[in-house]
Amino acid sequence: MHNQIFLRWASRVLFIGGVLAVSYVGFALLHAKCYQAMAERSFEKQTQVDAKSGVSPHNTSPKEGDILGRIEIPRLGMKVVILEGTTSQTLRLGVGHIEGTALPGEAGNVALAGHRDTFFRGLKDIRANDEIQVQSATGIARYEVDTVRVVAPDDIEVLAPSAGAAITLVTCYPFHFIGPAPERFVVHAHKQ
């Protein structure tokens, strides 16, 4: 008798816990989608204002969460706003610019990070010669994918500065791994 009561209550508690977990994930994804739409409009508006007024891009250091531009990979149908920083809050809302690397629109190696289960999920299908477009306050830069590789999480050589204009995209790997992923998936591309 007591076992049946315990099992009944345990199943209810687990069911409610499951509903709450799924609701949280759904809310987080909806919030990110709404934020992306708002950030996209804000970026477009600022780009138009700067173009009309002839204002050059700001020379101040961006702060965590500032909108820096937009990355698009046409073949994958990916289009995401780029934010400054890589805190968990920033990466929930968009693709983050890795501090210490070139900013979008600058010469050098622009490094961007994103979650494998949200904005960078499509990277699993990227391949050599794919085009990556980055729009920033200075215009649109087009890159062509050179390499795709998997590295250890502490392999920061992939973020090293480059003499030419390049972009490096980083996400966790494997893509369908549950929990903290043991490796990093790295895409490197050169400016066309």
CATH of the domain at 114: 2.40.260.10
Report whether 158 contacts 188 (CB < 8 A).
yes
In a domain, 3, yes or no: no
In a domain, 150, yes or no: yes
In a domain, 42, yes or no: yes
Ranges under pLDDT 50 in the chain = none
What's the pLDDT score for residue 43? 76
CA atoms within 13 A on the CB side of 90: 21
Q: Which domain holds residue 81?
A: 28-191
* Domain total in the chain: 1
Nearest to 84 by CA among 73, 98, 100: 98
In a domain, 64, yes or no: yes
What's the pLDDT score for residue 49? 67
What's the pLDDT score for residue 57? 54
What pTM did the predictor assign?
Answer: 0.82
Report whether 192 contacts 143 (CB < 8 A).
yes
Classified as helix, coil or strand, 147 is strand
What's the pLDDT score for residue 120? 96
Classified as helix, coil or strand, 61 is coil
In a domain, 22, yes or no: no
In a domain, 21, yes or no: no
**Model pLDDT for residues 56-88, shown as the tens digit of each residue:** 555 568 999 999 999 999 999 999 999 999 999
In a domain, 114, yes or no: yes
